Amino acid sequence: MDKQILTTGDVARYCNVNFRTVIRWIERGILNAYKLPGRGDNRISREDFIEFLQDNDMPVPAEFRPSENRVLVVEDDVTTAKIIQKVLEKDAIETCVVHDGFHAGIKLNEFSPAVVSLDLDIPGLKGLDVLRYIRKTDNLKHIKVLVVSGLPEAELLAAQAAGADDVLSKPIKPEVLQERMSRLLSSN
């Protein structure tokens, strides 16, 4: 979700409180908001909501946290996933690993990555399908995708045609992975 403007109900759900509590926060000046003309309903900007959470030592939901240093690793081979994770964590990059296309779809929204390291040959929903899903979903289109695969060159070219930002053949050379990932992260 990429909401820029929140309702009192949205804020209540994120904070796990009643919406009347949110209205009291607004009335007391603790939470900045504005009223819609005519109806008088309150709206809160994303920035004001995040500032309110931080000022009150409340957790910021994942979808509101900056994602510029997060990589979702979608790789069914556990050894390869660990290698990718180790290389990225050396550069203080936060990672999350999933081993199939279904869980990749879930984590794309929960983890809010800046880049996805995507194997094409994964169980369930295939890597190319995950890539197409990212490219056609409005709140995910901005995510950079590095395809890391041992499939033939034709498959890698198909991934680029489907919207991959870069491709890398297996076996992985750590220094090449590091350079490519650094480039993708800095281009966000």
Task: State whether 31 and 81 are in the same domain.
Answer: no
In the chain, the number of structural domains is 2
Has residue 176 been placed in a domain? yes
Taking the C-alpha atoms of residue 138 and residue 3, their distance in angstroms, rounded to an integer, is 12
The pLDDT of residue 86 is 94
Has residue 182 been placed in a domain? yes
**Which tops the pLDDT comparison, 156 or 65?**
156
Owner of token pair 């979808």: 63
The pLDDT of residue 67 is 65
Task: State whether 80 and 149 are in the same domain.
Answer: yes
Global pTM reads: 0.67
Identify the CATH number of the domain in which residue 90 sits.
Answer: 3.40.50.2300
Taking the C-alpha atoms of residue 44 and residue 37, their distance in angstroms, rounded to an integer, is 14
Has residue 173 been placed in a domain? yes
The pLDDT of residue 10 is 94
Cα R_g (the chain), whole angstroms: 20
* Structure-block tokens of residue 65: 């946290």
Which structural domain, as residue segments, surrounds residue 87?
70-186
Identify the CATH number of the domain in which residue 9 sits.
Answer: 1.10.1660.10
Read off the pLDDT of each residue in 13-27 and give the average, rounded to a whole number: 95
Has residue 13 been placed in a domain? yes
Has residue 65 been placed in a domain? no
Residue 188 has pLDDT above 80, yes or no: no
What average pLDDT does the chain have?
90
Beta-carbon count within 10 A of 138 CB: 7
Read off the pLDDT of each residue in 141-160 and give the average, rounded to a whole number: 94
| Model confidence band, residue 57 (pLDDT cutoffs 50, 70, 90) | confident
**Which tops the pLDDT comparison, 2 or 167?**
167
| Model confidence band, residue 91 (pLDDT cutoffs 50, 70, 90) | confident
- Percentage of residues in the chain having pLDDT higher than 90: 70
Task: State whether 109 and 49 are in the same domain.
Answer: no
Has residue 63 been placed in a domain? no
86 Cβ contact partners less than 8 Å away, ≥ 6 residues apart: none
| Model confidence band, residue 1 (pLDDT cutoffs 50, 70, 90) | very low
* Structure-block tokens of residue 14: 């994120």
Taking the C-alpha atoms of residue 9 and residue 85, their distance in angstroms, rounded to an integer, is 38
**Bridge partners of residue 138, in order along the sequence:** none
Read off the pLDDT of each residue in 23-29 and give the average, rounded to a whole number: 96
